[in-house]
Amino acid sequence: MPLTASAFIATSLDGFIARPNGDIDWLDKMNQLVPTGEDAGYGAFIQTVDALVMGRNSFAKVLSFEFWPYQNLPVYVLSTKGVTIPDHLVGQAECCPLSLKELVKTLEDKGHKHVYVDGGMTIQSFIREGYLNEITLTTVPVLLGQGLPLFGTLPQDIPLTLVASKCYDFGFVQSKYRVREG
Ligand SMILES: NC(=O)c1ccc[n+]([C@@H]2O[C@H](COP(=O)([O-])OP(=O)(O)OC[C@H]3O[C@@H](n4cnc5c(N)ncnc54)[C@H](OP(=O)(O)O)[C@@H]3O)[C@@H](O)[C@H]2O)c1
């Protein structure tokens, strides 16, 4: 069965996932609007994936958190420069200096069915090379003016189907899209 690759990510209204230096302080601040116990579908989403693929920058950011948020899920870190895997993640996280084609084949050979793709440049390369199947985009009501963009240039248009959309009364808007095949 072919691999499904999904992104689940939050952006500012002007389309940034982080400030130019990678900070997500704005997201932490806006998350204070979210009622206790509400996770905007994240918990349900993460239950459906069996591995993560993330870029080197996102991996570095997650390592700076107080706790590791992905339990025992295998994590494949994309990097050409290489990353140091901390001792507590050896055997769970690995650096993959692979092309996406090789990576997807490796993931399929390992039996993965649904991967969570994270990081702006990583999501962009999955989209560009035709490997992203779904994206759940949570738009947070703040303008940053500058930052790291979620989307980038493309060799051609990528038509999508809107699967679901939801407005939260705390102001977040979440839309799930499926990339149309063919
Ligand atoms: N708003 C949110 O929900 C959200 C979610 C996730 C992350 N973030 C933020 O986003 C920032 C990171 O995003 P980012 O756009 O900088 O990118 P990223 O995708 O996390 O990391 C980019 C790096 O990953 C490697 N990479 C990506 N695609 C590759 C490919 N196809 N082949 C080989 N290597 C590849 C490259 O590392 P090398 O240079 O080593 O080759 C590249 O420099 C962090 O600050 C994080 O906090 C926000």
Q: Please tell me the predicted confidence (pLDDT) of residue 1.
A: 74
Q: Is the CB of 128 under 6 A from ligand 1?
A: no
Mean pLDDT value across the chain: 96
Q: Residue 34: CB partners within 8 Å, gap ≥ 6?
A: 40, 168, 170, 172
- Rounded to the nearest angstrom, the distance between the alpha carbon of 169 and the centre of ligand 1 is 30
pLDDT one-digit tens code per residue, 54-102: 999 999 999 999 999 999 999 999 999 999 999 999 999 999 988 999 9
CA distance 142 to 147: 12
User: What's the pTM value of the predicted model, to 2 decimals?
Assistant: 0.97
Q: Is the CB of 17 under 6 A from ligand 1?
A: yes
Pocket perturbation via mutation, ligand 1, pick of 19, 28, 58, 118 by most ligand atoms within 8 A of CB: 58
What separation in angstroms does the CA of 49 have from each of 22, 81, 142, 174? 25, 27, 29, 19
Q: Please tell me the predicted confidence (pLDDT) of residue 142.
A: 98
Atom number in ligand 1 closest to CA 125: 31
Percent pLDDT > 70 in the chain is: 99
pLDDT one-digit tens code per residue, 87-142: 999 999 999 988 999 999 999 999 999 999 999 999 999 999 999 999 999 999 99
- Rounded to the nearest angstrom, the distance between the alpha carbon of 112 and the centre of ligand 1 is 21
**What's the sign of the alpha-carbon dihedral 123, 42, 89, 106?**
negative
Q: Please tell me the predicted confidence (pLDDT) of residue 113.
A: 98
Q: Please tell me the predicted confidence (pLDDT) of residue 78.
A: 97
